[in-house]
């Protein structure tokens, strides 16, 4: 596979080694004009193609009330997945990379960072990979099934039928995403661009995951997307960190490699499932400050999740799998957060992942 | 303003004059693999920059219950607007175009068409314009305020406090978007790619417009975006067809030109407002078959909306405004639908709009 070498962003190295002296904490939510903060790359982006499409979806019939009384009852589509893509010029034969976002977020996670730097979506394209960025089923441009919500409004269903709409407060994000132990008090070595934390707050949307059918339709949508691409690297983050594993179990031939970025869990798979997953190269990525108390008592700490994934890697290796952990702190790179794709050294981390892909993932 | 001339899509002309003999009606919701249907342009797309950012947003404090019990109460951001953008190489000084979508839809409306052709977003970029595509506040990647929904779930608020989540059924879309008088029976001359109507169904998301604060925060967000761009052409569609007018009233200096595509209404503005709007060049675009009964008895027909806009144009002209109607049927171009940016002759319509912009809108 021929990967283009494109000079990008000569300022990124400088950014990555910027000292904390320049970090100024701004009030949560108070930010300057975001457009003016968007930085420009040094070289043009040359695309063979770009656009968007949907994966999956089912036609269901709903009542007038379930459709919000906008018109008579009839059919709508639910459980489809929106996917935006960019294919670099000359990159048609190269390995596609699918980037799936985490809880209460959308595909925006991978686009322009909160402080206006190039996102991983464009960076991977500039490195020669076609990149596909979905919104999870039930989120963002993928929409969600509103039937039960309107049923409750109409009195046809009781309010206990409502799924919760999940949101993290900005205050919870600080320790949970490991920018610092307390809101407004960043770790001395944090890599997250904390002056722009108010812009991250804007990226959050309500998350209706508990209202999705079971099994989670994102697993099949991700597997189907990999199949339509006739093979892809599947990357998930946080909530969706384990989704590439589930997609690989559904379609191991199309899952050419898995990158689990700060996964919320590494499930305790059966021996048979581990045997299947051992046929796929797997990289797990975790940042720093993993033992920070999150303030979310019902959820495991990030260190516990890290150890859960270490255990899975051990099981995979025991049956001949190529699975490994990438923990930048072990390489002397400190301060990476849960939003590692938005950290100030995000291109340095991206390069490590690209190097792993180059060395471990077979071509399409 | 130097507008690039780029050769795009030699097949588009052929598509535009394709006979209806090739149109096969497929069952609603049943479609082939969408990715395989995505067509490729003949020439690469060369971008000076691309990415995304947010406009506006307010920090509010919410309770643990309002945040879905994911963690303790705290602050979140609401009423922000997601904006994706592409700037063509050499297009930095050119007039930006903002494209805002309609009801139950997202910015996807302007991207790859349901049958896989280039969207207006890319086409306008290829014609030299920086293009900005938002998701309306309360929709898609802009998120929405979930507080009252979780309050009802927790029993803190009663179900009559719930705003309706609006959806059009696929059956309603056929006459209301004027593909044909009845579902599955396209007009003989329809320009909409009806075999891909199932893909349009996937683009729909629940619309919580009735739950937005008043005045509609999209008006100010659109005005602020135009201001941040130091001048832009503002294009709205259907539900948002009148939003460029509202944005122009808030910031007439930044609204360099308005394009109202099949607007749901042209409001009866005061004489003072009309005087302000008369300082901005305005184009209203309406397709064919406007007197089709929509099946939505509480809403005006599209012919009635057309006449409402004709009346507004008359008032604007009476005080010296440069306002005009573009109705392709009057130029012998038949069969355009409400989703005119997705019709088979969508580039022909785009060229008419581009010609109007070139002739009527001053540079930034």
Chain A residue at shortest CA distance from B152: A159
ipTM score: 0.92
Q: Do B74 and A149 touch (CB under 8 A)?
A: no
Using the Cβ of A354 and the Cβ atoms of chain B, whether some distance falls under 8 Å is answered with: no
Residue with tokens 């249907």: B37
Structure tokens that stand for B83 in this block = 């904006």
Q: DSSP character for B322?
A: -
More confident residue, B29 or B356: B356
Spatial separation of the C-alpha atoms in residues A282 and A361, rounded to whole Å: 9
Convert the pLDDT of each residue in A275-331 to its tens digit.
999 999 999 999 999 999 998 988 999 999 999 999 999 999 999 999 999 999 999
Convert the pLDDT of each residue in B84-118 to its tens digit.
999 999 999 999 999 999 999 999 999 999 999 99
- Give the closest-approach CA distance of A55 to chain B in angstroms: 7
Phi, then psi, of A133 in degrees rounded to 5: -120, 105
Q: Are A326 and A353 in contact (CB under 8 A)?
A: yes
Q: Between A and B, how many residue pairs show a Cβ–Cβ distance under 8 A? A: 283
Q: Please list, in sequence order, all residues whose beta carbon lies within 8 angstroms of the beta carbon of residue B185, skipping any fewer than 6 positions away.
A: B25, B174
Chain A residue at shortest CA distance from B41: A49
pLDDT confidence of residue B200: 98
In sequence order, the β-bridge partners of residue A81 are A55
Chain A residue at shortest CA distance from B140: A140
Q: DSSP character for B53?
A: E
Burial of B59 (0-12, 13-18, 19+ CB in 10 A): middle
Spatial separation of the C-alpha atoms in residues A80 and B201, rounded to whole Å: 10
Q: Are B218 and B100 in contact (CB under 8 A)?
A: yes
pLDDT confidence of residue A22: 34
pLDDT confidence of residue A5: 36
Mutate to test the interface with B, among A9, A26, A63, A68 (most CBs of B within 10 A): A68
pLDDT confidence of residue B33: 58
Spatial separation of the C-alpha atoms in residues B60 and B77, rounded to whole Å: 6
* CA within 13 Å, CB half, B108: 30
Mutate to test the interface with A, among B41, B63, B75 (most CBs of A within 10 A): B75
Mean pLDDT of A169-180: 98
Phi, then psi, of A54 in degrees rounded to 5: -120, 150
Using the Cβ of B297 and the Cβ atoms of chain A, whether some distance falls under 8 Å is answered with: no
pLDDT confidence of residue A364: 57
Spatial separation of the C-alpha atoms in residues A281 and A240, rounded to whole Å: 18
Convert the pLDDT of each residue in A4-27 to its tens digit.
333 333 333 333 333 333 333 333
- Give the closest-approach CA distance of A358 to chain B in angstroms: 25
Chain A residue at shortest CA distance from B107: A141
- Give the closest-approach CA distance of B136 to chain A in angstroms: 11
Phi, then psi, of A258 in degrees rounded to 5: -120, 135
Mutate to test the interface with A, among B30, B167, B223 (most CBs of A within 10 A): B167
Q: A12-16, B66-70, B279-283: which has the minimum mean pLDDT?
A: A12-16
First-to-last C-alpha distance (Å) of chain A: 9
pTM value is 0.92
Q: Is the dihedral of CA A10, A16, A20, A26 positive or negative?
A: positive
Partner A, chain B 126-185, Cβ-Cβ below 8 Å:
135, 140-144, 146, 149-150, 152-153, 155, 159-160, 162-172, 176
């Amino acid at each position: 596979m021929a990967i283009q070498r494109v000079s990008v962003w000569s300022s990124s190295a400088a950014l990555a080694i910027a000292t904390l002296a320049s970090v100024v904490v701004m009030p949560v939510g108070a930010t300057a004009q975001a457009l003016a903060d968007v930085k420009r790359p040094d070289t043009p982006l040359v695309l063979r193609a770009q656009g968007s499409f949907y994966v999956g979806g089912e036609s269901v019939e709903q009542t007038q009330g379930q459709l919000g009384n906008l018109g008579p009852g009839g059919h709508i589509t639910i459980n489809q997945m929106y996917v935006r893509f960019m294919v670099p010029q000359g990159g048609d034969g190269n390995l596609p990379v699918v980037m799936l976002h985490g809880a209460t977020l959308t595909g925006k996670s991978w686009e322009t960072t909160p402080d206006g730097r190039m996102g991983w979506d464009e960076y991977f394209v500039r490195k020669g990979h076609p990149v596909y960025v979905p919104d999870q089923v039930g989120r963002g441009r993928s929409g969600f099934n509103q039937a039960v919500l309107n049923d409750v409004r109409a009195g046809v269903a009781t309010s206990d039928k409502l799924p919760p709409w999940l949101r993290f407060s900005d205050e919870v994000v600080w320790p949970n995403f490991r920018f610092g132990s307390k809101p407004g008090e960043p770790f001395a070595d944090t890599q997250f661009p904390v002056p722009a934390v108010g812009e991250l707050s804007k990226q959050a949307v309500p998350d209706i995951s508990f209202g999705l059918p079971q099994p989670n339709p994102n697993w099949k949508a991700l597997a189907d997307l990999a199949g339509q691409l006739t093979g892809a690297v599947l990357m998930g983050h946080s909530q969706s960190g384990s989704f590439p594993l589930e997609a690989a179990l559904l379609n191991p031939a199309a899952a050419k490699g898995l990158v689990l970025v700060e996964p919320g869990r590494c499930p305790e798979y059966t021996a048979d499932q581990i045997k299947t997953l051992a046929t796929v190269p797997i990289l797990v990525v975790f940042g720093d400050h993993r033992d920070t108390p999150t303030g979310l008592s019902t959820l495991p700490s990030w260190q516990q999740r890290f150890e859960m994934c270490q255990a899975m890697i051990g099981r995979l290796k025991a049956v001949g799998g190529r699975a490994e952990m990438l923990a930048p702190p072990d390489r002397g790179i400190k301060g990476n957060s849960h939003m590692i794709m938005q950290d100030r050294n995000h291109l340095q981390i991206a390069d490590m992942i690209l190097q792993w892909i180059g060395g471990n993932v077979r071509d399409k």
